[in-house]
Amino acid sequence: RRKRQTGFDHLRGKIAHLSSSFEVDNTSQAVPGYFVQDELSAAPSIIGPVPERFGLLDNSSEYWTNFTSKVGELNRHASPHTAYKVVFLGRHGEGFHNVAEAYYGTEAWDDYWSLLNGNGTIEWGPDAKLTELGIAQAEAVHKRWSSELHLGGGVPVPTRLYSSPLSRAAKTMQISFEGITGEEPLIMERLRETIGLHTCDKRSTRTVIHRSFPKFKIERGFTENDELWKADWREPVEERNARVKLAMDEIFTKPGTCIVAHGGVIEAVLAVSKHRPYGVPTGGKVIEHVVHKLVLIGILVSFSQGVIPLLIKATYSRT
């Protein structure tokens, strides 16, 4: 069976240099009531990965205009060090590792197959790629963005894009926003999937990533080789959540954003924001709003491929 080690020492040292000089201490909680994904009875299997209006409950003719106006009003009446921002969370499309896990079952995948690079028919490691279905799922997200730009007054387009360094997430980001915005996505190490053991979660070199996604920016301090992944250690959930929170603390200080990452990262965002779990399918998206010492408003997801909207109220203190 897989070997689990405790301790986060090797990660702490290696990701410390990635931290921004602008540090914030954020607290966050979700604020429901704007998106169908917020509702306790919401069923991801029924809602789907990219629903109309990204799940916005307002179905009037000017739904995005109304939503943007409400967010503006919230900010005008917000207390100091508090802000509301829209954040779209997206999970990558189907990867070859997803196919393998579905075929072998999660237990066999975790205990044996995830430790290999492939099975002789398909390869999923290192750095699993999107399948044809995964590419089609990302194209469906792009189609939804394209539609919502011209409906309801126009969806608020993210002004900051952030991606995991893993190929499946970066490719999903690339396809999803092609022609939607001229913003260059920033690749952040801390947005990667749970680290260790699974070969699909070992990233490519910086050189390969830059060659594959030449229009993407790569954060300062990003190493050439993957110095975080280990074949005999799997990052514990609580340590993954702490890592993702560091990324969120930095990202949430920026204007409206979109993050394309992984189910584990989305789980972590939900956990640190004390939001109930929500299963997002691959290629799905979530919209969220954030304020600085964060109070989240809305819903985030743990999905296979999709997009989910979340409104977050974040409050922050600068350190």
What are the b/e assignments for 77-88, b being 16+ CB within 10 Å? ebeeebbbbbbb
CA 244, 223, 205, 118 torsion: positive or negative? negative
Is residue 311 within 8 Å of 83, Cβ to Cβ?
Answer: no
Look up 81 and say whether it is catalytic.
Answer: no
How would you write the pLDDT of the chain (319 residues) with one tens digit per residue? 444 444 445 555 565 555 444 455 566 666 778 888 777 777 777 888 889 999 999 999 999 999 999 989 988 998 888 888 788 888 999 999 999 999 999 999 999 999 999 999 999 999 999 999 999 999 999 999 999 999 999 999 988 999 999 999 999 999 999 999 999 999 999 999 999 999 999 999 999 999 999 999 999 999 999 999 999 999 999 999 999 988 888 887 776 677 878 888 888 877 776 665 555 555 555 545 433 333 333 332 323 456 756 666 666 665 4
Predicted confidence at residue 84, as pLDDT, reads: 81
β 285-289/307-318 pair status = parallel
pTM, whole model, 2 decimals? 0.85
Residue 145 pairs in a beta bridge with none
**Active-site residue identified among 94, 123, 189, 193:** 193
Nearest 10 degrees: Cα torsion 235, 240, 242, 246: 120
Segment holding 193, helix H or strand E: none
Look up 73 and say whether it is catalytic.
Answer: no
